[in-house]
Structure 1
Amino acid sequence: MVLDYIKAKYDVEPEFLWEKFPDYCIFRHRNNEKWFGLLMEILASKLKIQSKEPIQVIDLHIPKEGADDLLQEKGIYPGWHMNKKTWISLVLDGTLTDETIQKLIEESYQATLS
C-alpha cells in the first residue's frame, strides 16, 4: 500500500541503498535529495513491542513540536534508527488507518520539501 501510494501521489520511486538490507528502501525529494520516508522490516522488539516477530514500519520526518502528541497514538513510535526528536516509526500492521498513514506521509513530505 505505501509503495503504491507514494509512487502515485508524489511520483517518487523507492531507492534500495543497502546490500545488507535489500528490502529496505528510502523515499526522497528529487529537488533537494532529502529523505521523507524509510520503509523497512525490523524486529518488533526494536520498538519495545513485546514480540520477537518481524514487523514492517515506515519512518517519517515530523516537526519537533508534533512528536509528543503523535507518540500517544497506538502504532506510532519514536523513529527507529533515526533522530527520535524529528522522526517517528509507523507500524504497518493494520493498527493505523490508511488515511492516518497517508496524512503522516504528506506531513513528512512537506516537512522535508525545502
Structure 2
Amino acid sequence: MGKKAMREKLEAYAKQRYQVEAEELPFRREDYAVLRHTDTGKWFAVFIAKEYSAFGLAGEGTADVLSVKPKDADFADFLMQQPGYLRGFPSKKWNWMSMLLDGTVPYEEVCRWLDESFQITRSKTSNKKTPLLKRKHSPKRNE
C-alpha cells in the first residue's frame, strides 16, 4: 500500500469509526491535517507531510507520517527505536509519537495507535457521574 493510499485509508477509518474528517491547517509551508474530538475540539491525531530530511531520515521526496498520543510514554520510547516510528511531530515537547505511513508500520497497528490516542485524549468529564444536588433543609411540617 502506498503512502497516500495509507493516509486515505486512515482518514476513511477515522470518519467511519469516530465521525470526524481530517481538517487541513492553514500553514503556509507545512502540510498538516488534524483529527479532532467533536465535543472538545482537542486533537487526537495529526497527519504531516514533510521532506524526509525534516524527520531526520534519508531519502528523497516527501514522507507522510501520523502523530498520535500514546498512553505509555516509556513504551513509546522503546517503539521509537523500531523501524517506522519517530519522535512526535510537530513538537518534540509533546508526549506524542509518529509513524511513517509508507507501510513500515502495518495499517492495523497504526489503527490501534489511533484508537488509543482517541481514548486517552477524550474529554474526562464524559466519564464522570453527575453529582446529586443537595437538598435544602425545609422546616418540618406540622401534622
Do structure 1's residue 3 and structure 2's residue 11 form an aligned pair? Answer: yes
Q: 1:21 to 1:27 in 2, by over 3 A?
A: farther
Q: Residue 24 of structure 2: which of 3, 11, 16 is its match?
A: 16
Report the CA distance between 1:83 and its aligned residue: 3.7
Do structure 1's residue 86 and structure 2's residue 99 form an aligned pair? Answer: no
Preserved contact between residue 35 and residue 43 of structure 2 (Cα < 8 Å): yes
The separation in 2 between residues aligned to 1:21 and 1:86, in whole angstroms, is 24
Normalising by structure 1, we get a TM-score of 0.88
The separation in 1 between residues aligned to 2:81 and 2:24, in whole angstroms, is 31
Residue in 1 aligned with 2:134? none
CA RMSD of superposed structures (Å): 1.8
Structure 2: any 5+ residue segments left out of the alignment?
1-8, 124-143
Moved over 4 A (4+): none
Preserved contact between residue 78 and residue 84 of structure 1 (Cα < 8 Å): no
Do structure 1's residue 53 and structure 2's residue 80 form an aligned pair? Answer: no
Is the radius of gyration larger for structure 1 or structure 2?
2
Residue in 2 aligned with 1:30? 38
| Residue aligned with 1:95, SS | coil
The separation in 1 between residues aligned to 2:118 and 2:27, in whole angstroms, is 26
| Residue aligned with 2:23, SS | coil
The separation in 1 between residues aligned to 2:110 and 2:121, in whole angstroms, is 17
Amino acid at match of 1:50: A
| Residue aligned with 1:24, SS | strand
The separation in 2 between residues aligned to 1:46 and 1:73, in whole angstroms, is 18
* Percent identity of paired positions between Structure 1 and Structure 2: 31
Q: Deviations over 1:51-102 (max 9, x none)?
A: 2321111111123343222212210100122245511111000111111100
Structure 1: any 5+ residue segments left out of the alignment?
none
Q: Residue 71 of structure 1: which of 49, 56, 80 is its match?
A: 80
Amino acid at match of 2:99: L
